[in-house]
Amino acid sequence: MTEEKTQRRGILHDANGKEISVPLRNVLPTTAKRVRYPGFKPGTELLKKGTVRMPGYAPLPVDIVFERDVPIKLSNGNTIYTDVFRPNDDKEHPAIMTMSPYGKEIGGQWLDDVKFRAGVKKNQTTGLHKFEGADPGYWVQYGYAIVNPDLQGANKSEGFIHFFGNDYGREGAEIIEWIADQKWSNQAVGMSGNSWLAISQWFVAAQHPKHLKAIAPWEGLNNAMNEVGTHGGVPTAEFVEILTDTFASDTDGVEDDIAAMQEHPLMDDYWKDKIVPLEEIDTPAYIVASYTNFIHTYGTFEGWRRISSKDKWLRVHDIQEWPDYYTKENEDDLRKFFDYYLKGETDNGWQDTPKVRLSVLNPGGKNIINREENEFPLARTKYTRLYLNDENRKLQLEPVAKENVLTYNSDDPKKRSVTFKYRFPEKTEITGYIKLRLWVSALDADDMDLHVTMSKLNPLGFKYPSVSGMEPVANGYMRVSMRELDEENSTEWNPKQTLEKSEKLQPGEIVPIDISIWPMGMIFGKGDMLELKVEAHKIGSMKDAPFASMFGSAKLEVPALDENYTYDPKTEHPKMVELGGDSEEVSSDGEYNIEHRMPKDVNKGRHAIYAGGKYDSYLLVPVIPPKD
């Protein structure tokens, strides 16, 4: 008889200090190859101008003081460790803190793991940065310190890794106050970074640390239940599992977000703790968004729209987030923002920057980039209903008179979706939030998991090729039993579910649902078609999940721990060690074949979509007239 494994537990605290018990799991130790931990070596070293960290990366533009594995004692008694890169002088400097559990440097995720490095050349950075974080080689030359902590549980830091929440924000706030207390600090701290590092900024800013003067969230969610754990109630846990298997901890491991999804299928205190109260944030913010990120799009636009900051700017780009973040032009733009708020350079012209710089995608043509606007969503938006016609599978401007029903089989991989098309009679821009109203029933079950997409087709009905590598598709999800609307916080164009209760479908019951489709900006030429696809969402095997065997695969060479951190490639030949190269190495808690860990979909048998007559199924699209 196999002994049943006991779930380890940890304690978090909500906004009022109330304890929340959370499940914990192991992750890989720092000795595992795939996590690429370079070793523990407290001390201070001068990194010389012209030296390099790794072959192929840019040489350092200036001398940098490097403080490694510096301890920070948190108020809960745990000690964490941070790296600090700062200018080689005795002056006081502002700092930029990059916050994630990925590792103070390199770590289990790195651009070399990704095909063509996602378009970021090695020599665009010095390689001193943590994954998705600010490059010290760039920032130190302009008088900034970069602080890269290993958060609780990460590598050698004590405690367990948090999947966000109020305690996570408090940890960041304590780090910021520690930075302000350092002798080299001018007591002005900013935060920067992409993805997890952007998410961190929302949670920390909501804590109002005294010395946090500016944030720059570069694409990141702020509602862990509705933007990563589930989308519209539909479990989307594959990415969470893959991400967790890149972490390393020699202490208490990580909060087990997959187990928590099973324990907490509905919105409750656990998930409420992981929602940022955006309206409480008043920190100056430089926000960057895109339309094509599965995890980040919705939350980034919501962050821009809902924070209370009087000083906030939005820039929407048209490529993938990593090349956008490490493009020098964008680094220079961000530096202008930080110079204003962290250095007090109030005459540098930053306040003349347009509040919104918008990109609009145009597959098959030329994208609009950095169009100046005053707000988002755009005030001149003309919301237009395109009604579903089940008879010809078209979308049309006029309501459909005759009631019709269209069915598909959710169990048939080749036939578990239906599409509707609308052909544009003239060039049209659709930019903003999108909603799909559907009338549905489950003919053979009591629930439905739906995934809907909106995309662009050429006049012949084919997709335009993707230029940036990110497919230009707007997405929406809903578990029909969790359809209850949050009336107080919903709008006609941005419906929100409460996710607080499950209302199973009765046999033969037909219900209306309002599905939020994430913001999109798209140009449709005359004759181009909008395609709406409605499909039964199926949770696949972890073995087939995207990126499942990618992270940790690249082998990187760095100087051995007993050598200098950087070296002159022309004159020095230090002993090198190889990090990485084993992407299949996973913890015993996280093997991809442990499918019972994963939530299941609820689809079974036939789904029916009703349109016409009393069934006003329609797609609400934000049509943008040209500027006056």
Instruction: For residue range 540-573, list pLDDT tens digits in order.
Output: 666 555 555 688 899 999 999 999 999 999 999 9
- Partners of 147 in the beta sheet? 84, 97
Residue 149 shares a structural domain with residue 101: yes
- How many structural domains comprise the chain? 2
Span 93-136, pLDDT tens digits: 999 999 999 999 999 999 999 989 999 999 999 999 999 999 99
Residues 6+ apart with CB under 8 A from 521: 291, 316, 358, 359, 360, 361, 368, 429, 430, 431, 432
* Rounded Cα distance, 279 and 85, in Å: 33
Same domain membership, residue 517 and residue 399: yes
Considering the domain architecture, whether residues 344 and 388 belong to the same structural domain is answered as no
* DSSP notation for 416-468: SEEEEEEE-SS-EEEEEEEEEEEEEEESSSS--EEEEEEEEE-TTS-BPPPSS
Query: Is the model's pLDDT at 4 over the cut of 50?
Result: no
587: β partners = none
Backbone angles phi, psi at 134, to 5 degrees: -65, 140
- Stretch 576-594: mean pLDDT: 72
Tell me, yes or no, whether 329 and 400 share the same domain: no
Q: DSSP states of 294-348 as a string?
A: TTTHHHHHHHHHH---SSEEEEE-SS-HHHHHT-HHHHHHHHHHHHHHHS--TTS
Looking at the structure, tell me whether residues 106 and 214 fall in a common domain: yes
Q: Give the pLDDT mean for 513-531.
A: 97
Asked whether residue 3 is domain-assigned, the answer is no
Tens-digit pLDDT profile for residues 460-499: 999 998 766 678 999 999 999 999 999 999 999 999 999 9
Q: Which residue has the tokens 């006049």?
A: 459
| 400 and 322 share one domain | no
Tell me the percentage of the chain whose pLDDT exceeds 70: 96
**Rounded CA gap, 475 and 454, in Å?**
7
Specify whether 389 is located in the same domain as 329.
no
Write down the pLDDT at residue 90. 96
Looking up residue 527, the CATH number of its domain turns out to be 2.60.120.260
CATH of the domain at 247: 3.40.50.1820
* Together in a domain, 85 and 48: yes
DSSP-assigned letter for residue 318: S
How confident is the model at residue 597, as a pLDDT? Answer: 73
Calpha distance 501→495 (Å, rounded) = 16
In the chain, what is the straight-line distance between the N-terminal and C-terminal CA atoms, in Å? 75
Quote the pLDDT of residue 5. 59
Residues of the domain holding 153: 27-353
Q: If you search the block for the tokens 């916080």, which residue do you land on? A: 489
Residue 611 has a pLDDT of 97
Task: Name the domain boundary from 353, 372, 403.
Answer: 353
Least Cα distance to 35 among 547, 554, 543 occurs for: 554
Query: Is 476:483 a contact under the CB 8 Å cutoff?
Result: no
Which residues pair with residue 44 across a beta bridge?
Answer: 67
Question: What are the pLDDT digits (tens) for 376-412?
Answer: 999 999 999 999 999 999 999 999 999 999 999 999 9
For residues 11-34, give the mean pLDDT: 95
Q: Does 565 fall in a domain?
A: no
Report DSSP letters for 149-160, one per residue: EE-TTSBTSSS-
Per-residue model confidence (pLDDT) at position 120: 96
Looking at residue 600, its pLDDT comes to: 87
Edge to edge, the sheet with strand 8-13 lists 8-13, 19-25, 254-255
pLDDT > 60? residue 3: no
pLDDT digits (tens, 9 = 90+) for 127-162: 999 999 999 999 999 999 999 999 999 999 999 999
| Mean pLDDT (whole number) for 604-617 | 97
The Cα 200–Cα 76 span in angstroms is: 19
Residue 375 falls inside a structural domain? no
Reported confidence tier of residue 242, pLDDT bands at 50, 70, 90: confident
DSSP state of 321: H
Question: ∠458-460-464 over CA atoms, to 5°?
Answer: 30
Same domain (yes/no): 333, 409? no
Classify residue 223: in a domain, yes or no: yes
| 538 has a pLDDT exceeding 90 | no
Give the chain's mean pLDDT: 94
pLDDT reported for residue 550: 82
**481 and 431 in one domain?**
yes
* Domain assignment present for 595: no
- Residue 182 shares a structural domain with residue 298: yes
CA angle 69, 72, 77 (to 5 degrees): 130
Q: Is the same domain home to 446 and 344? A: no
pLDDT of 236 reads 85
Judged against a pLDDT cut of 80, whether residue 199 lies above it is answered with: yes
Q: What is the pLDDT of residue 1?
A: 36
Residue 397 lies in a domain: yes
Would the pLDDT of 225 be above 70?
yes
Q: Which two tokens stand for residue 495?
A: 């419906």
pLDDT of 593 over the 80 cut: no
For residue 19, tell me if it sits in a domain.
Answer: no
Token readout for 475 is 């997405």
Compute the distance between CA of residue 521 and CA of residue 316 in angstroms, rounded to an integer: 10
Would you say residue 547 lies in a domain? no
How far apart are the C-alpha atoms of 518 and 523, rounded to whole Å?
16
